[in-house]
Structure 1
């Protein structure tokens, strides 16, 4: 891990897999996200001690394991509070909720209860109920739903940590059907981020620090086009003939020449397809039908 200074008080902690945030005030500091596991938490602790900072709090953009997996280690070492949105703290406190949601609300099999989908249990407080903390650190907390239902962004001095609100160019090429839980909210979030005049840089959690003077708009536009492309693909496919969710997942993957070789990734794809189906159904553009005890989606 290494520090990249963005402003006098805002740093990005760059690592091989994720960008984290460090905000300082004198010798005090707060961390935005903590990575996948206790190893990440220990590395963050070492980095803070190396620079003689004193950790005061952790903020998690959302409750996915690769963003809060280091919480438990840091809390054990420092006993600091952890903040996120009211929705996301449920996943911090009860990590089994993530594989539970991926497995359609049933008790998830053990193979889904791994560190990539179920981080170590963490405390959590609703950041919106802690105005004094927000004011002391001079933060703007911005709702960014879509990738997860309660994801938040943290803005300080023109630098906005956007979590997984959109994919940078490399991951978008590698994962052409981006994981999301609410497609309409995700598109609204993308338009809001694209049109926000008060940011100088976006810090994307995975492989991206983008200047809002050109770079950010291009990357966000690519994400908007991709989500809209998938939306049209699924709606047109269903209009041609009824399809199951599994058939639609295959059609979307084949359309982008993508390979899905693991069960773990397939579960993410199925959740994403269901998010599109939910939107189409709510807008009365498709309907569920039963044929021979099989659920199909039809125009």
Structure 2
């Protein structure tokens, strides 16, 4: 993990999941907290060694790799903790993620792991979109769903902390089928990002760029390519069950999945592209032989 100072009082800690830090006046704001205490400990050590405060924590969304270290931060510091609506409910009750990924059934024991369920965290302030004051820091909150239901980004002094609203291109190709919840909504979010007034952006996974529009455009192109694949596969096969589609897409993109928790994430990711096509009226869903089935719309 490396520590990068990108503007006066604005830093990010470059790791598997980027963690932001902003210092202004007596306020020290941590933006996300990594997957566990070992990740965030390195950040806290840097802050302490440089005599900077830690007074507030902003959690962008309720995925464990972004809030898993938050409970440790709250144990060590009396930080006021902020998170967006709905995401806050999951962060405070983290079993909800394994539950929804598992279709509402009690999840198998191996599904309840630190990658899907972080320690519970009390949220002090539930935030909505708009201008907020976090201690001495003025920030613009933008709600950008698609990867998570009410994911929030922060823009501070022209720097956009984008969370997982977009991915660095290397991460798109690394995961092959990136985790999103609805491709149509995700593409809308990406187009909205292109209009955010910022002088640079830090994604949750990737590197800081002053001109990040090219990376956002590549995200749009990548999702559109996957939408085209799903549409073509359904068109070629006439009717496709949900499980057949998940299996075929993971096979086509050479996704290596051997464990149930990872498969649950990829099942959601694949379904996100069907969601997008259904939202656009291109694909319809129905039951056949007790199976969720997809076909092209007849309209």
* Correspondence for 1:231 among 227, 230, 238: 227
Shifted more, 138-147 versus 243-252: the winner is: 243-252
| 8 Å contact from structure 1 (residues 245, 273) kept in 2 | no
TM-score by length of 2: 0.91
Contact 1:61 1:84 in 2 (8 A): yes
Distance in 1 of aligned mates of 2:258 and 2:82: 36
Q: Is 1:141 the equivalent of 2:141?
A: yes
Greater helix fraction, Structure 1 or Structure 2: 1
Q: Cα distance 1:190–1:282, how it changes in 2: closer, same or farther (>3 A)?
A: closer
The CA deviation string for residues 250-270 of structure 1, in whole angstroms up to 9 with x for no partner, is 222233333333322211111
How far apart in 2 are the matches of 1:218 and 1:187?
14
Aligned to 2:263: 266
Q: Which runs of 5+ in 1 are unaligned?
A: none
Task: Give distance in 2, aligned partners of 1:270 and 1:104.
Answer: 11
* 1:104 match: secondary structure: coil
Point out the more displaced range, 226-235 or 64-73. Answer: 226-235
Distance in structure 1 (CA, Å) of the matches to 2:97 and 2:34: 16
Query: Cα–Cα, structure 1 residues 129 and 205, in superposed 2: closer, same or farther, change >3 Å?
Result: closer
Q: Deviations over 1:224-243 (max 9, x none)?
A: 11111111221222223111
Tell me whether 1:12 sits opposite 2:12 in the alignment. yes
Give, in whole Å, the separation in 1 of the partners of 2:40 and 2:132.
26
- 1:177 Cα deviation after fit: 0.9
Aligned counterparts of 1:65 and 1:97: Cα–Cα separation in 2? 12
Normalised by the length of structure 1, the TM-score is 0.91
Q: Is the 8 A contact 1:41 1:69 kept in 2?
A: no
Q: Which residue of 2 aligns with 1:85?
A: 84
**Residue 68 (structure 1) aligns with:** 67
Higher deviation after alignment, 93-102 or 277-286: 277-286
Q: Which runs of 5+ in 2 are unaligned?
A: none
3-state SS, counterpart of residue 227 of structure 1: helix
Map of 1:276 onto structure 2: 273
Q: Which residue of 1 aligns with 2:32?
A: 33
The match for 2:244 is 247
Q: How does 1:137-286 map to 2 (within 5 A)?
A: 137-196=137-196, 198-212=197-211, 216-240=212-236, 241-286=238-283
User: 1: CA distance between counterparts of 2:209 and 2:87?
Assistant: 25
Structure 2 partner of 1:290: 287
Q: CA offset at residue 132 of structure 1?
A: 6.0
Tell me: CA distance 1:262–1:127, structure 2 relative to 1, closer, same or farther (3 Å). Answer: same
In 1, the alpha carbon distance for the partners of 2:184 and 2:280 equals 11
Structure 1 residue aligned with 2:47: 48
**Residue 130 (structure 1) shift:** 10
Q: Write the distance in 2 (CA, Å) between the matches of 1:145 and 1:179.
A: 12
Give, in angstroms, the shift of residue 131 of structure 1.
6.5
C-alpha deviation, 1:183, in angstroms: 1.7
Q: Note the C-alpha offset of 1:134.
A: 4.0
Q: Which residue of structure 1 lines up, in the alignment, with residue 112 of structure 2?
A: 113
Q: Aligned to 1:186, what secondary structure does the other structure show?
A: helix
Question: Are the aligned partners of 1:147 and 1:164 in contact in 2 as well (CA < 8 Å)?
Answer: yes
- What is the CA distance between 1:70 and its match in structure 2? 1.0
Cα distance in 2 between the residues matched to 1:130 and 1:156: 12
